[in-house]
Every structure is written in C-alpha cells, then in structure tokens.
A and B are shown apart, each in its own frame.
Chain A
Amino acid sequence: MIERDGGALQRLRQNQSLQRLLGLVMGVAFGVFLQLGGVTRYDVIIGQLLLYDFTVVKVMLSAVAVGMVGVYLLVHLGLASLSIKPGSIGTTVLGGIIFGCGFAVLGYCPGTVAGAVGSGALDALFGGVVGILIGAAIFAELYPRLDASVLQRGNIPDTTIPELLGVRPGAVIVPMVILIVAVLYGIEYLGL
C-alpha cells in the first residue's frame, strides 16, 4: 500500500494550494456537522457544562469512536500516520484549566465559535473571536518566559495509550468503543 499509494498521497499533502482548498472544503463539512449537531449554540454548550444537556458529549464521543476506528485502520494500512500532541502538567493541566474557565465564560470553543459566527451569533464574533485572538497574542508574548518556567514541568508521556500499555491498538480500541457506546447508552437511558 505504501509503495503503491504513498507517492500520490505525499504529493497531494505537499501541494500547498490544493491543501488550502481541501481545508476549506473540510471546514465547510465540519461547520455543517457542528451546526446540525447543535453545538454552535451557547445554550447547548452551557447546558452541557451545567450537566442538563448532554449534546456536546454525544457529538464528541460518537465522533471519537467513529474516528478512532477509521484512523487506526488507515494507519494499519500505511495510508496515514498518527499526529500525537506532546504534553506536560505545566502545559496540559495549567493550560487546560485556563481553557476550561474560558469555555464556561464564553460558552463556545475555538471551533464552535466559528460556527456560531456563521449562524449569526454576534457575541461569538465581537466577543469570542476577538477575545481568542487577543488571548493567543498574549500567549505568544508570554511564551518565552512560560517556556523557561512552567511549560516543561511534569512530563506526560508523548505517546498513546496502547503504546504506554505495550499492547496492540486493537486491544484498546475495541474496549474503548464498547465503553463509549455504553456511556452513550447510559446517557440516553437516563434521558440526559
């Protein structure tokens, strides 16, 4: 597979202008799904964080289950490779806490805020997008100092759960998908 398809895929992935077009097309699809799923709405996201509307969890967990199976299959066939984000307590946990505060106060995240703008939410445009741009600029300004102090603290293994456990991916994917389906079934059973 790698020998037969790898060259064409490589060329496709390195074609910058084609990639920008693909990004736009995939973004339109992403926006359609986010809007259809209802997660571009402040009320739905806040409802999730206040634990009375589980739409966000339903969308995310079903996307993760479906995505996991296909992406690992592509990797197995040699048609894709994983792209694992590194982490540490200093980045993942501290940054995650700040993100969570923003999540609750803004009521959108960086993807859904763009969808909210598309659906006409002016608070998402003039508050959310403008704020995220300012926040990103603040981080860029602070980055050298943060990198020298907190960002490297408390290493988190730069790997996946199967690699950490030393098992084949399928040994984690199968139970994970079953677990996700069980959680979603439980959410429906409870009527959340």
Chain B
Amino acid sequence: MDWTPYLAGLGIGILSWFTFLLSGRPLGCSTAYARTSAMIERAIRGDSVLEKPYYRKFVPQIDWEWMLVLGIVIGAFITAIIQGEFALIWVPSTFEAAFGSSSLLRLAVALVGGVLMGLGARWAGGCTSGHGISGTLQLAIASWIAVAVFFVSGIIVAFLLYGVIAP
C-alpha cells in the first residue's frame, strides 16, 4: 500500500490548523486569480477598473492568499527538482494517449478548461481547496454541496471526453 497520498493529506490537514491559527483564514486559491486578473486589467485600462463591483469586493492587491499561490509554485518546484520529476512538458501522457501529441491542441483544450474553471470557481465562490478541503473540514453545508457538484460534473465531462470524443 502506498502511504504517500495519506502523508500528503496529513500534511495539508495540519497546514490548515496553522492557517486558521496564525492567519485566521482557511486555505484557498481561486481568489488570488481574481485579484491578479484585476491587477492586469488595471495595468491595461487604468484605475476605472477599481469601480467594478466585483473588484470592490476583491480589491486588486497582493495579499496572504496571493502569496500562498506563489508559494505553491515554489514548493512544487523544489519538490519536483528533489524528486527528479521536474520536466518541461506540453502534453501530459494520458492526454497524448487519447488525443495525440499536438501541443497546440493540448494548449487550446487547457485554455478552454482554464476559462471554465476560472469562471466556475468565482461563480461557486471557491475551488477544490477553498470549498473542497477548507469548507468541508469546517462542515460547511454549501461547501459539501459544492465539492459534490465539482466531482459529479467533472466525472461526467471526463467520461464524455475520454469515452466519446477520444478517437
């Protein structure tokens, strides 16, 4: 039996104690993307962007959560290097086996998926971390419903993609 997923889960669970204790907040990731897109929009279109009702709620600034997401990149990078698993890859092997090795196709699919995910995460008010781990561990009703919907619709779409669309 492989204990690694459980040790990783144990680590994330203990990490959530520290985020609640030291920062007074749950682990979450998707708000950081909303703040980043607001910062990019502000750089292009100026301060009028700040008037958008959504950006009044989520002010474009580098906060705890933004640094958390940056930290994930760094932590995964260091670990991947130590594991010897760091590799620049365009097309993951499961995708390649079903849809071929075109990096342009994978990029287009990932972009569409990313747009849906960014839209859906803000629409649902959280992601697999904010609802899926932090919300459910607090036994929040909305979060249990959210994570059930995430997985049920994800499973259906994955089966459609790999079962029906894949050649």
**Which residues does chain A contribute within 8 Å of B123, judged by CB atoms?**
91, 94-95, 98-99, 139, 146, 151
Q: Give A143 to B122 CA distance when docked, in angstroms.
A: 9
Q: Which residue of chain A has the shortest Cβ distance to B83 in the bound complex?
A: A35
Task: Please judge, given known A-B contacts A23-B71, A60-B133, whether A119 and B110 are in contact too, CB under 8 Å.
Answer: no
User: Judging by beta carbons under 8 Å apart, are A136 and B16 in contact?
Assistant: no
User: Judging by beta carbons under 8 Å apart, are B120 and A143 in contact?
Assistant: no
Count CB-based A-B contacts (< 8 Å). Answer: 532
Task: Please judge, given known A-B contacts A67-B137, A70-B13, A84-B138, whether A43 and B94 are in contact too, CB under 8 Å.
Answer: yes
Q: Which residue of chain A has the shortest Cβ distance to B36 in the bound complex?
A: A133
Q: Give A51 to B152 CA distance when docked, in angstroms.
A: 11
Task: Please judge, given known A-B contacts A67-B16, A87-B141, A136-B37, whether A123 and B73 are in contact too, CB under 8 Å.
Answer: no
User: Judging by beta carbons under 8 Å apart, are A106 and B33 in contact?
Assistant: no
Task: Please judge, given known A-B contacts A29-B11, A134-B118, whether A55 and B5 are in contact too, CB under 8 Å.
Answer: yes
Q: Could you tell me the distance in whole angstroms from the C-beta of A101 to the nearest C-beta in chain B? A: 5
**Which residues does chain B contribute within 8 Å of A96, judged by CB atoms?**
120, 124, 145-146, 148-150, 153
User: Judging by beta carbons under 8 Å apart, are B144 and A161 in contact?
Assistant: yes
User: Judging by beta carbons under 8 Å apart, are A80 and B106 in contact?
Assistant: no
User: Judging by beta carbons under 8 Å apart, are B131 and A85 in contact?
Assistant: yes
User: Judging by beta carbons under 8 Å apart, are B111 and A140 in contact?
Assistant: no
Which residue numbers of B lie inside 8 Å of A, CB to CB? 1, 4-27, 29-30, 32-34, 36-38, 40-41, 52-55, 62-80, 83, 85-95, 103, 106-146, 148-159, 161-162
Does A186 interact with chain B (Cβ within 8 Å)?
no
User: Judging by beta carbons under 8 Å apart, are B24 and A49 in contact?
Assistant: no
Q: List 22 A-B contacts (CB under 8 A).
A: A13-B22, A20-B64, A26-B19, A29-B11, A30-B27, A32-B11, A35-B79, A82-B140, A84-B138, A84-B140, A95-B125, A100-B120, A102-B115, A109-B128, A118-B74, A120-B86, A123-B91, A131-B115, A133-B40, A135-B120, A140-B122, A159-B140
